[in-house]
Structure 1
Amino acid sequence: MFYIKILFAIFIPNVLMLNNEDYCDKNGLDCNKPNIRYMFYDVNPPEGFNLRRDVFMRFAIFARKLSKSSDPKLHNFQLVLPPWSNLHHWKHTEEPEHLPWSLFFDLGSLQKFSPVIEMHQFFTNLERNYGYVRIEDVYVLQHYEDMFSSGKFEEKMNISSCVKEPTTNFYYYQNVTSNNIRCLSFHGHTSQLTKILKETNAQSIYFDHGEVALHDRFGDSIYWQCRRSMRFNKELVQISNDYRQRFLNSTDITDKTELPLDWRDEKQHRDAIGGPYLSVHLRRRDFVWGRPKQTPSIEYTAEQIREKLMELALDTVFIATDSPPNEFEELKSFLTPDINVFRFKPNKEVKKRYKDGGIAIIEQIICSHARYFIGTYESTFSFRIQEEREIMGFPEETTFNRLCGNDESESSCEKTTKWKIVY
């Protein structure tokens, strides 16, 4: 049996079925009725915070493209942002938290790029408070088993039997369900889903495992417009700025990292200096066994930090890491006493309000403002910091760097790919 919360209207009052009776068709019929259509997406549950941010960009760019379409069936889509609940890497309670995107990001800034709304706004739009909602069409994206058999990239998709039993959870809401869940074998870019949206009159369409769909516009100016629109929650920025000023002698004015209030007013430049400290993202835990060749020991990490501080004539390092306290103390013991070592320690109020996601953002902000940044090989956490530094206008040589593994020589320590900003 598929894991579907089947809820029958005969037993449940106030079930709202979103359907094509509420859609203003291309011939102008029923145009006095609401014609907003809703697109939902979700990501494979084990995926982390920073990968989910990347999948958001794929769908935000897609939704932006739809909003500019001349097809009346396409241009009124709103992208409903999936609430943050029960991420595997976060410490959370057994009950879903349904954290809104506005807790971490500036929603108004996101909406200047793409027609996005929070899940609670979707419920409000229905004018049924939190009554039961049945999503009309649900597609669970899955990879083709033989997608590279031809030896070349070919876009394709089709409704097919499910490779694995679907486990759509509808963001852990008890009042959201569907009785129409199908598996969609998919290979290609996100915009290929336009065909699905055009062929149905459904007002609500949900794409699960959205990470299967690829970026339409990776690395170009539209991609970077979307990325620049992802301004952080202003309170998180203020917490980070207060920490930088108090412990790291760093401010936006002295560091030349000031940005205009609206991301659309940003101009390309390379004159950011950064605060007088080195920042390091040290990913340990699963990387120790998942990428053992590229993950240095604690002692070798300390050696690389000392060398870079000497080269930069600095005596302060800020470290963002998932290492347990004992490993962090070990790292400090390998650094000489004249080196100032900092790690962000949130108080109870910050931990309670902003959770692990907010703390991660604070650490990324602090890392992104450093004079020089060293990341971890193939870590999305490091990628996000590098993007922030590109947006602020740091020289490339101070941004795209990584820690080397113990057995990697200077020549074999593969350099970080440079994804440079485009305006």
Structure 2
Amino acid sequence: MDSDNRTRVYVDYSSDEYALKTDTVYCLHGVLHAVELAPFLSRYIEQNPSIRTVFIGSAENLINGIWSEWSQQYWTARRSMVFASHLTTLGDSFRHKNLNSDDVSDQTTAPPSWLNWPWPQSPALGGPYLGIHWRRGDFPRSPSPYTAAMQTLQAIKRSVKFLESFVNESSSPLSIYLATDANLEDCAKFEGLVAPHKVYRFIDKSLLPGEVAIIDQWICAHARFFVGSVPSTFTFRIAEEREIMGFPAATTFNSLCDVEGSEVVLKDDPQDSSNCEALTPWTMILEPRYTIIASQVKNEL
């Protein structure tokens, strides 16, 4: 403890610049459900009305329980979460300029409110490009540039029924949008290995990393076909967004495999992937009181 009788908790171990100070630290061990943590926090805040901030470390490890992806409540909350408009505008501009993609052609025009379902042009088609999320930088195990590139080429070949309208052996190279935390050297290797297909990335040094990440998610969510990384919450959020927009599951729940020599894991074209973890599909569950069905609107009109 410091001389001011406050416990110093370091967020960044390289320096104390981002250190947090707190009057009290509670260590909770074991498998903890969010529904169990909430009453504890409520009681503590009631007993300590001066509390203004509660910091929860490793909150991503909480078990959602009844509020998991399989519940109506989860999907109500998830549907209500929309990206910042100034970032989606940047993403839309990039799609239009580089990927020949727009909401009308892609059948991804958004409804007037998140409460409306399904989306007006559902099922979504997506832009004429392949979206890839290649989680690389901080994963203990991840596909090498060679493996990621080979599995990307496999995905193109094996998903031709979804891509055939704009890619075949005699057509121009396919556009690939790559969202990744790989370093420049790995990205260069990947691009060289998938040539002549063209790889696009959104790079804007004036934006914060989190802002670029949102734009990456937005562009991947609008792709005709998407392949992600497992396990990765970044990929999960893209899959959820595509589920909300009305994309077919076969174009969404696909994943790279970190095992050298393995095939890409495609939902609609399963092969020998015993060594690879698939991206688990889940179906959006609507909560009636927070959903305006399109047919209801038409009947009222």
TM-score, length-scaled by structure 1: 0.54
| Distance in 2 separating the partners of 1:212 and 1:280 | 26
Q: In the alignment, what sits opposite 1:304?
A: 151
Deviation track 1:314-339 (CA, whole Å, cap 9, x = no partner) reads 311111111111221111211232x2
Q: Is the CA contact (8 Å cut-off) linking 2:101 and 2:127 kept in structure 1?
A: yes
Q: Name the structure where strand makes up a greater proportion of residues.
A: 1
| Distance in 1 separating the partners of 2:133 and 2:190 | 13
The AA in structure 1 aligned to 2:72 is: S
Alignment pair present for 1:208 and 2:62:
no
The AA in structure 2 aligned to 1:215 is: N
Alignment pair present for 1:421 and 2:301:
no
Map of 1:285-364 to 2, 5 A cutoff?
Answer: 285-287=137-139, 290-291=140-141, 295-310=142-157, 311=160, 312-313=163-164, 314=167, 315-337=174-196, 339-346=197-204, 348-349=205-206, 351=207, 355-364=208-217
| Distance in 1 separating the partners of 2:137 and 2:154 | 24
Match of 1:265 among 107, 116, 127: 116
Alignment pair present for 1:191 and 2:35:
yes
Q: In the alignment, what sits opposite 2:242?
A: 389
The AA in structure 2 aligned to 1:194 is: P
| Distance in 2 separating the partners of 1:181 and 1:395 | 46
Q: CA offset at residue 378 of structure 1?
A: 0.6
The AA in structure 2 aligned to 1:326 is: E
Q: CA offset at residue 305 of structure 1?
A: 2.0
Alignment pair present for 1:274 and 2:126:
yes
TM-score, length-scaled by structure 2: 0.74
Q: Is the CA contact (8 Å cut-off) linking 1:44 and 1:211 kept in structure 2?
A: no
The AA in structure 2 aligned to 1:297 is: S
Secondary structure of the structure 2 residue equivalent to 1:285? coil
Q: Which has the larger radius of gyration?
A: 1
Q: In the alignment, what sits opposite 1:111?
A: none
Q: In the alignment, what sits opposite 2:72?
A: 221
The AA in structure 1 aligned to 2:179 is: A
Distance 1:321 1:185, change over 3 A: closer
| Distance in 2 separating the partners of 1:393 and 1:5 | 55
Secondary structure of the structure 2 residue equivalent to 1:372? strand
Q: CA offset at residue 246 of structure 1?
A: 0.5
The AA in structure 2 aligned to 1:229 is: S
Q: CA offset at residue 270 of structure 1?
A: 5.3
Secondary structure of the structure 1 residue equivalent to 2:131? strand
Secondary structure of the structure 2 residue equivalent to 1:281? strand
| Distance in 1 separating the partners of 2:97 and 2:13 | 32
For structure 2, the residue ranges without an aligned partner over 5 or more in a row are: 168-173, 264-270, 287-301
Alignment pair present for 1:234 and 2:85:
yes
| Distance in 1 separating the partners of 2:217 and 2:10 | 24
Q: In the alignment, what sits opposite 2:254?
A: 401
Secondary structure of the structure 2 residue equivalent to 1:397? helix
Deviation track 1:356-386 (CA, whole Å, cap 9, x = no partner) reads 0000111110011000000112112111111
| Distance in 2 separating the partners of 1:87 and 1:236 | 31
Distance 1:195 1:307, change over 3 A: closer
Q: Is the CA contact (8 Å cut-off) linking 2:10 and 2:16 kept in structure 1?
A: no
Q: Is the CA contact (8 Å cut-off) linking 2:107 and 2:122 kept in structure 1?
A: no
Q: Is the CA contact (8 Å cut-off) linking 1:400 and 1:418 kept in structure 2?
A: yes
The AA in structure 2 aligned to 1:333 is: G
Secondary structure of the structure 2 residue equivalent to 1:373? strand
Q: In the alignment, what sits opposite 1:153?
A: none
Q: CA offset at residue 420 of structure 1?
A: 2.2
Q: Percent identity?
A: 35
Q: In the alignment, what sits opposite 2:107?
A: 256
Q: CA offset at residue 296 of structure 1?
A: 2.8
Secondary structure of the structure 1 residue equivalent to 2:128? strand
